[in-house]
A and B are shown apart, each in its own frame.
Chain A
Amino acid sequence: DADVTQTPRNRITKTGKRIMLECSQTKGHDRMYWYRQDPGLGLRLIYYSFDVKDINKGEISDGYSVSRQAQAKFSLSLESAIPNQTALYFCATSVPTGGQETQYFGPGTRLLVL
């Protein structure tokens, strides 16, 4: 069974629509992250949360919002989708171990904005 799951796995939407990507984890980790991957640009951090009451912007948070509903759930919303938000989106979790943190990723959501 997957420890980090993402839904949906694929989504096509139109410009201006609001969509939500969901992430759930059974690893019991406090820390959760949302990244996007674009060809040739690697993984870029959108938002992160170190516990249920903690939300922080990453390097490319504009146009996105998040909600940490519980320790196990972290949702990413695009309030009004635009074509340049077409990308692969990954959720990740982690727990720090002596200052050396390893992140564990979900399978990704492929989003196409028309």
Chain B
Amino acid sequence: DQQVKQNSPSLSVQEGRISILNCDYTNSMFDYFLWYKKYPAEGPTFLISISSIKDKNEDGRFTVFLNKSAKHLSLHIVPSQPGDSAVYFCAASARWGGSEKLVFGKGTKLTVNP
């Protein structure tokens, strides 16, 4: 069963508007959440993270929101730029047996149109 779900395989937005990428998780033991961005022919790159003790983390145009009661997190990009077009992966980790492992969602392909 999938513990980290990104239910939208793709998203298209206009340049300058807000992009909202969503992620749901099922395991209440997850205590750290990350977003990665991946361009074609490159490895995923770390974008932003949030600890379960927070509900918001902001870094420039990128903000991640965490709703623990709903087991939901979202990544907001505002304003969106064409260079933001990429696949975005949500990931979560938990301390199981004293070791952390990341569990990834399937990704959402964001296209920002000029």
A residues with CB within 8 A of B: 4, 35, 40-45, 48, 50, 58, 90, 92, 96, 99-108
Quick check: is B45 within 8 A (CB to CB) of the other chain? Answer: yes
Q: Identify the B interface with A (CB < 8 A).
A: 6, 9, 31-32, 34, 36, 41-46, 49, 51, 89, 93, 95, 99-102, 104-107
Q: Is the contact region of chain B dominated by helix, strand, or loop, or is it mixed?
A: strand
Identify the interface centre among A90, A101, A106: most chain B CB within 10 Å of its CB. A101
Out of B41, B89, B100, B105, name the residue touching A99 (CB < 8 Å): B100
- Determine if A42 and B42 form an interchain contact, defined as CB atoms under 8 angstroms apart: no
A4-B43, A105-B45, A106-B43 provided; 11 other pairs, C-beta below 8 A?
A: A40-B106, A42-B6, A43-B104, A96-B100, A99-B32, A99-B95, A100-B51, A101-B100, A102-B46, A105-B43, A107-B43
Do most interface residues of chain A lie in helix, strand or loop, or is the interface mixed? strand
Task: Tell me the minimal C-beta distance from A10 to chain B in angstroms.
Answer: 10
B85–chain A nearest beta-carbon distance, Å: 18
Residues of B within 8 A of A104 (CB): 46
Which chain A residues lie closer than 8 Å to B46 at the CB level?
A: 102-104
Tell me, in angstroms, the Cα distance from A41 to B103 when the chains sit together.
12
Is there an interface contact between A105 and B99, defined as CB atoms closer than 8 Å?
no
Q: Kindly list chain A residues whose C-beta atoms are within 8 Å of the C-beta of B31.
A: 99
Task: Specify which chain A residues have a CB less than 8 angstroms from the CB of B99 in the assembled complex.
Answer: 50
What is the CA–CA distance of A106 and B38 in the complex, to the nearest angstrom?
11
Residue contacts A-B, CB under 8 angstroms, 22 given = A4-B43, A35-B104, A40-B9, A42-B105, A42-B106, A43-B89, A44-B104, A45-B102, A58-B101, A99-B31, A99-B32, A99-B95, A100-B32, A100-B49, A100-B93, A101-B32, A102-B34, A103-B46, A104-B46, A106-B43, A107-B43, A108-B42
Measured CB to CB, the closest approach of chain A to B83, in angstroms, equals: 19
Known contacts A96-B100, A100-B49; is A42 also within 8 Å of B107 by CB?
Answer: yes
